[in-house]
Structure 1
Amino acid sequence: MAARKHHYVPQCYLKLFSVSHKKIPQLTVFDRERKKVYKAGIDNVAAQRDFNAIDVEGMDADAFEKSMSGFETELADALQRVVVARSLANEEDRAFLLNLVGLTAMRNPRLRETIRSGHEQVARLIMDQVLSSKEMYESQVKKVREAGGLPESNKTSYEEMKRFVEGGQYELTLDNTFQVGQEMRVFDKILPLIFQRGWILLRAPENSGGFITSDHPFCLFWTDPKRRGGFYSPGLGLRGTEIRFTISPRLALVGAFELKNGDVDVSEESVAGVNGGVIALAEAQVYARDQNFHYAMQPDEPLQKASRLITDKRFLLHRGEEE
């Protein structure tokens, strides 16, 4: 029987931020929507029913999910080697990690909803044009019917359709197969932009509360803090932008076109700043090994304890820059 719960953030990645617990490793979850902190298995977070399901003739609905599982098996080994080595010297492991960065950038519910709502806006504009007059509507219906896109039994009148559209009580949905295909096509386009950046591996102090992650671990910011939160969002191909991606409680990545590859030991203040970015761009949940981490949402603010997060209005009411 095909699995229906599909993870858009791989479990092998989430496991690095977890603690052992019976059969399933557990995370400490800070949930914006439920306004509470609780423990959850890595199998029960960052997942959505049939997220990877496809409808292609001659293929199983879970064919793409199975192909992702194959990639994640190799990814798990690569991530473990990076964590143990505390280095990106192994080019193959580095490539797996950067592929994960790209996949989390393009394959997530937030971006799917952005694409869906964009199509819906276009569809509403088209319908407004089609319904601008009865003659226009009937002309378009005739063309669609002649093309085989509308059965003869459908006799919806201009007046009925106009009332329905103006009522606004409908939502456009996109076929999941289309979404998956679109994501992978765009992924192929953006992956070179990720590899072209210089990447610095950040290593947290041994006594640090460590890095955290979320249900949207890909974080893209303007490098200049003054540009963040403005009208223009950062883009993957733009200079003056940086990608932040936490790997484990002890390791994180920063990537920018202006950087050279390297690694650096960072302070607890720097760890807190990275965590602040993770929190700002989380969709609904932040994940950590425990409640011992610190965060800072602004460059000049004092370190905040994890225990404050679930009551921090900036987490509860605000999501930062979109990708």
Structure 2
Amino acid sequence: MSEKSKKKTEQSRRHHYIPEFYLAGFTSSGDKEDFLQVFDLKTGKKWQAKPKNVAHERDLYRWEGVVGHEDFLEVEAFQKIDDLASKVIAKIIREKKVPAKDSEDYFNLIQFIAAFKIRTPRSQKEYEDTTIQILRAVTNVITQSEDRWKTVKKRALGEEGKDLSREQMREVVFNESKFKIEVPRESYLATMSERLQYLIQILGDRNWSLCIAREGNFMCSDYPLVLDWAVPPHKHPNRYPALGDKGSVVAVPLDKKNALLGVFEQERFSSIVGERLVALINFLEGIYAYRFLFSPTDDFIWLKWDRTIGNSDEFIEWIKTLRTNHSA
């Protein structure tokens, strides 16, 4: 294979879960050849990089067994979604207006936003964690008694599982120090299309407004679609909101100066907003981030719990402490 072919193959297996055109909006100039500031929440480090060199993972969407089309999700599905959305987002930023709900532009915008919920490493990790939780719950039930285990084992495993004891099954599933449960990537990829259609429906039902930053810049993360309650604590359930919950708000930055807010109850608007709302959306981006934040400068604002405005160094230290305590 020639060096040119090798380079092309390697590039096709570098799957961008946040598209280059979108990240370009968070550079100083808005050009994809310009630089972003990258913040690594795991290591606390920060550096400059071009959009093409960040927010990608090797073989993230690669579907083994689909001969000749292993990368179709990256090069056909998501690329098409991104190409359509890039034109719509440029138009929104230029005209300062969200497209009408019954328009093709609106569908292409919502499809792009919905895809953030399924295309990122965090999305796959959440699916894996949920699958393993379900496996452990089922295993706990079917191994409660020897009689139940024998019945289920014979039905599910047949001759191949005749020598697998109840104790061995429990050890394989529950002993994390000796065994690692791996969820096939293809099982997640197989759910993408159905989940995307559901997300398009539920996000499309929201009323989307455009917020234009007067002061400060929006940043984005490796999981740009964020969600919070829009009503006071005493008016919502004591849990994190879901995308279908009334009284919740979805935020999605479009670039460093524009962001969308989606709610069910309020009519749509386009408005210049102050630094406090910018800081709140940045806080949500940081909280939802899997690992990386992207900003046009080496500093960003965020809304602290005491309602004051913090800087990037304070956020990195705060989130590091929060995640360390959570995992302890």
Q: TM-score, normalised by structure 1?
A: 0.83
Instruction: Summarize the Cα distance change of 1:7–1:293 in structure 2 as closer, same or farther, 3 Å threshold.
Output: same
Q: Which moves more between the two structures, 210-219 or 159-168? A: 159-168
Q: CA deviation at 1:199?
A: 1.1
Spell out the pairing of 1:1-323 with structure 2 (5 A cutoff): 1=9, 3-19=12-28, 24-57=33-66, 60-67=69-76, 68-89=78-99, 91-134=103-146, 136-146=148-158, 151=160, 155-156=163-164, 160-161=168-169, 163-165=171-173, 167-168=175-176, 169-205=178-214, 208-226=215-233, 231-291=238-298, 293-298=300-305, 301-311=307-317, 313-314=318-319, 316-318=321-323
Q: CA deviation at 1:108?
A: 2.4
- Secondary structure of the residue aligned to 1:33 is coil
Contact 1:197–1:256 (CA<8 Å) still a contact in 2? yes
Contact 1:24–1:42 (CA<8 Å) still a contact in 2? yes
Q: CA deviation at 1:137?
A: 4.2
Instruction: Summarize the Cα distance change of 1:30–1:136 in structure 2 as closer, same or farther, 3 Å threshold.
Output: same
Q: CA deviation at 1:121?
A: 2.0
Contact 1:279–1:315 (CA<8 Å) still a contact in 2? no
- Secondary structure of the residue aligned to 1:128 is helix
Aligned-partner residue type, residue 48 of structure 1: E
Aligned length: 311
1:266-319 per-position Cα deviation (integer Å, ceiling 9, x unaligned): 112222222222222222221111135422134x622223354333x1465259
List runs of 5+ in structure 1 lacking aligned partners. Answer: none
1:146-172 per-position Cα deviation (integer Å, ceiling 9, x unaligned): 4xxx659x8555565455445343233
C-alpha separation between the residues in 1 aligned to 2:283 and 2:32? 31
Q: CA deviation at 1:143?
A: 3.3
C-alpha separation between the residues in 2 aligned to 1:159 and 1:79? 56
C-alpha separation between the residues in 2 aligned to 1:310 and 1:158? 46
Identity of aligned residues (%): 22
Q: Which moves more between the two structures, 211-220 or 133-142? A: 133-142
Aligned-partner residue type, residue 129 of structure 2: S
Aligned-partner residue type, residue 128 of structure 1: N
Contact 2:252–2:261 (CA<8 Å) still a contact in 1? yes
1:16-57 per-position Cα deviation (integer Å, ceiling 9, x unaligned): 102469984321012111112211222232222211111354
Contact 2:218–2:281 (CA<8 Å) still a contact in 1? yes
1:179-216 per-position Cα deviation (integer Å, ceiling 9, x unaligned): 122132112012122111111100112xx221111111
C-alpha separation between the residues in 2 aligned to 1:27 and 1:110? 21
Contact 1:214–1:286 (CA<8 Å) still a contact in 2? yes
C-alpha separation between the residues in 2 aligned to 1:101 and 1:227? 30
C-alpha separation between the residues in 2 aligned to 1:77 and 1:133? 60
Contact 2:226–2:284 (CA<8 Å) still a contact in 1? yes
Residue number in structure 1 paired with 2:5: none
Q: CA deviation at 1:264?
A: 0.7
Q: Which moves more between the two structures, 1-10 or 249-258? A: 1-10
Aligned-partner residue type, residue 117 of structure 1: D
Aligned-partner residue type, residue 48 of structure 2: K
Instruction: Summarize the Cα distance change of 1:308–1:228 in structure 2 as closer, same or farther, 3 Å threshold.
Output: farther
Aligned-partner residue type, residue 167 of structure 1: N
Contact 2:37–2:296 (CA<8 Å) still a contact in 1? yes
C-alpha separation between the residues in 2 aligned to 1:301 and 1:255? 23
Aligned-partner residue type, residue 244 of structure 1: A
